[in-house]
Amino acid sequence: MAEDPGSGSGGRRPGAHWFVFFGLAAVIVVLDQVTKAILVANLDPGQSVAVIGDWVRLVFSQNSGALFGMFHDQAILFALASIGVVGLIVYFHGQSGRSLYLSIALGLLLGGALGNMIDRVRLGYVVDFVDIGIGSFRWYTFNVADAAISTALVMLFALALVPSLARMAERPSGG
């Protein structure tokens, strides 16, 4: 028999933190696109500007591949794959229950995926610009979307090691 919509918790089972999930994703997309627009307006492709000596530089890089610059000239393929990934992230968030931790991790992942997907569809490449390293020892050039994706992956890896993280700030199940 169906539950009375007016009983208990108002007929709604508390679920995932959708506002946090979509809100964080939107913030990441906006920050990503704004920082890229500022960079593109002020630097030419390949141009570099020192921020903290040689340690941190801004470099206008056009990444036509994915995964740290691998698989060059496959932007359209990765844009199409990104649509599927975005769908999976949203679906998984809906299945993730009441975990604020997962909503944050998946919101970062969604925002990063959307930020880079927008570049691939609009430009045919992803704008990367943060260059960190010492001398010739450099990390891969990245952007805000990449940083959000990396943070999300670290959070998900930590969750695999410490499953109790998923219960941090979990919504009560109601009664």
Residues 6+ apart with CB under 8 A from 78: 65, 66, 71, 120
Residue 8 lies in a domain: no
The tens digit of pLDDT for each residue in 5-58 reads 444 444 344 577 999 999 999 999 999 999 999 999 999 999 999 999 989 999
The tens digit of pLDDT for each residue in 55-74 reads 999 999 998 765 555 556 56
Distance CA 163, CA 175 (A): 25
Residue 106 lies in a domain: yes
Residue 5 lies in a domain: no
Average pLDDT score over residue span 94-109: 91
Confidence (pTM): 0.82
Q: Which amino acid is at 32?
A: D
* Residues annotated catalytic, as ranges: 128, 146
Average pLDDT score over residue span 76-94: 85
**pLDDT at position 100:** 92
Residue 9 lies in a domain: no
SS (H, E, C) 104-153: HHHHHHHHHHHHHHHHHHHHCCEEEEEEEEECCEECCCECHHHHHHHHHH
Structural domain boundaries enclosing 73: 18-162
Mean pLDDT of the chain: 84
Residue 128 lies in a domain: yes
Structure tokens at 27: 């913030």
Residue 116 lies in a domain: yes
Query: Domain tally for the chain?
Result: 1
Distance CA 103, CA 21 (A): 5
Residue 12 lies in a domain: no
